Chain A
Amino acid sequence: MSLHLLTAGEIASLIRDRRLSATAAVTAALDRISAHDGAVNAFTEVTAARALARAGVVDAAIAAGEAVGPLAGVPFAAKNLFDVAGSVTLAGSVIEQRRAPATQDAFAVAAMERAGAICVGCLNMDEYAYGFTTENSHYGACHNPHDLSRVAGGSSGGSGASVAAGLVPISLGTDTNGSIRVPASLCGLWGIKATYGRLSRAGGVMFVPSLDHVGPFARSVGDLALAYEAMQGEDIEDPAQSWRGMQRVSGVLHEGVTGLRVARLGGHFARHGHGYVQVAADRVADALGARAMVEIADAAAGRAAAFLITAAEGANQHLDDLRTQPERFEPLTRDRLLAGALLPAQWVVHAQRVRSHYRTHVMELFRHWDILIAPATPSVATPIGQDMLEADGQVVPLRPSFGVYTQPISCIGLPVIAAPLQGVDDVMPVGVQLIAAPWAEDVLFRAAALLEREGICASVVAPGFV
């Protein structure tokens, strides 16, 4: 049985039906990681002993006839900024090696395990989540399973690569400016960044508190829904959480999009990228019955505001270390954080006011539309080490450019599902953003499931890892 080709839902079903033990599922995942992670460098730590112990608990519960969760025995892994009890929370840095091992799991990790899933390790990322490529000089670049010479995206690069290589069926990441949607796009995966404040971020090293989101990656919409449901829960430890009660989405996956008003985003979102990313967005828009092309006024200003707020807030998180040991930061991260530490306060306050004003404009759109469609990235995955991106007649710095379509959305906290398309470019997958009004993740799941059923979008284990 090729467990790595099964969905999380299928694995959990086999385990609940006693046709597979959780121990066997975890052992198979650990074997896959041992055999293949050397090629992709997705994991910074494999928590085998913890995982096998947890699997034994799940197996014992099943043997005793006790209820187990919807993700019973399903292996998953978490970006290494989430606390995993017994592991040092590195956040992609060497500076954080000073930390003692975490004494308890981050909320998201604990929530997944309450649903029966089993954490098998911690995943590579850009240092402190400040990047879109996971070219981490401390822990090595993360390689895209669809083409090992290319980046996996970032900052949750290990989260994307681990699922695309079939090492785990679900992973956890974070998204401040696109760090779930970019690797989901470049690795050909489903990913969700829920509404700001929906999912607790407590327990770990976050990046920019006023922009940080957590969320899962998966190779099927059903798995994404299971993980999204599992990660919910009220948590007073996250001061930014706005708890609205559980939102069940597994039950709406077959509802389709009848009655939903869908539009394709133009303007800023129709520029800046390769033509094929627009083709991808058009395919999705057509399949969902998009009736118009609409523009978000001032999207470029919103994106720029996010960039400034990120630089300033991100730097503030690490100010003492920037003062005392700047040489220990990742070179790709250090100078941007230092620059952020020196931004004039008036620029940052102005950026916050731009964000607020921009948000008011965007919310007007949702009086007329339920789902907005836009590309996720301006290109497919680029070669590791590439510095500049040529697209839409311009040559621009590559690393910040990967956020050109994602930042204008996340900076105002909107929920987004990244939907993967195969074959738009010759070899590499690319993603499209499905965007909804705050708290309307359910309509996104309806649309995503329809796209999957109709074969417009699909996520696969990368051919070299089947």
Chain B
Amino acid sequence: MITDEFDPLAYVTAVAPAMGMRFAPERLAVLADAFTLVVRVGMPALLHQVPDEAEPAPVFVA
């Protein structure tokens, strides 16, 4: 799901304005580090294959 070329700093720099956010360059670097941590911890999910029928809605009915 993520290629080797992924650059967190370039990503957050590009996407922040789309979310209505503006940051100074030094803040963007800190944000890129935080994004990198989220990606690292979330990676086992991103790499996990699911069948087509896996339901994305948060259904909890037992």
Contacts and interface: CB of A to CB of B under 8 A. Distances in A.
Interface of A: 195-197, 210, 240, 242, 298, 300-305, 307-308, 311, 319, 322-323, 326, 335-336, 338-343, 346-347, 349-357, 363, 397, 400, 412-413, 437-439
Contacts of B59: 356
A360 B57 CA distance: 13
Contacts of B25: none
6 contacts: A197-B60, A343-B38, A351-B46, A353-B55, A400-B37, A438-B62
B54 A356 contact: yes
B61 A242 contact: yes
A352 B61 CA distance: 15
Given A352-B57, A352-B58, A304 B19 contact: no
Nearest to B58: A210
Nearest to A308: B42
Interface residues of B, number: 34
Contact of A397 (B20, B37, B55): B37
Interface string B28-62: 00110111011001111111101100111111111
A350 B1 contact: yes
Given A339-B31, A342-B15, A342-B16, A304 B54 contact: no
A353 B44 CA distance: 13
A410 to B, nearest CB: 11
Given A339-B37, A397-B37, A356 B42 contact: no
Interface string B8-21: 00011001100111
Contacts of B50: 350, 353-354, 356-357
Nearest to B37: A397
A127 B31 CA distance: 18
B21 A322 contact: yes
Contact of B62 (A195, A300, A303, A336): A195
Given A304-B46, A346-B1, 18 more contacts: A240-B60, A304-B48, A307-B45, A335-B31, A336-B34, A338-B21, A339-B31, A342-B31, A342-B35, A343-B38, A350-B1, A352-B56, A353-B50, A353-B55, A354-B45, A356-B54, A363-B62, A439-B62
Nearest to A348: B56
Interface of B: 1, 11-12, 15-16, 19-21, 30-31, 33-35, 37-38, 41-48, 50-51, 54-62
Contacts of B57: 352, 356
Contacts, number: 113
Given A335-B34, A336-B34, A353-B50, A304 B21 contact: no
Contacts of A353: 50, 54-56
A195 B15 CA distance: 37
A30 to B, nearest CB: 40
A400 B41 contact: yes
A300 B46 CA distance: 11
A303 B56 CA distance: 16
A301 B21 contact: no
Contacts of B20: 323
B60 A304 contact: no
B38 A304 contact: no
A356 B38 contact: no
B38 A308 contact: yes
Nearest to B55: A356
Contacts of A347: 1, 42, 46
Nearest to A413: B60
Contacts of A342: 11-12, 15-16, 19, 31, 35
Contacts of B16: 342
Contact of B19 (A323, A336, A352): A323
Contacts of A196: 60
B58 A304 contact: no
A438 B62 CA distance: 6
B37 to A, nearest CB: 7
Lowest 8 A-B CB distances belong to which pairs?
A438-B62, A335-B34, A304-B45, A301-B48, A210-B58, A304-B44, A305-B45, A353-B54
A352 B60 CA distance: 12
A335 B30 CA distance: 8
A337 to B, nearest CB: 9
Residue of B15, B42, B62 with most partner-chain A CB within 10 A? B42
A195 B48 CA distance: 26
B54 A307 contact: no
Contacts of B35: 339, 342
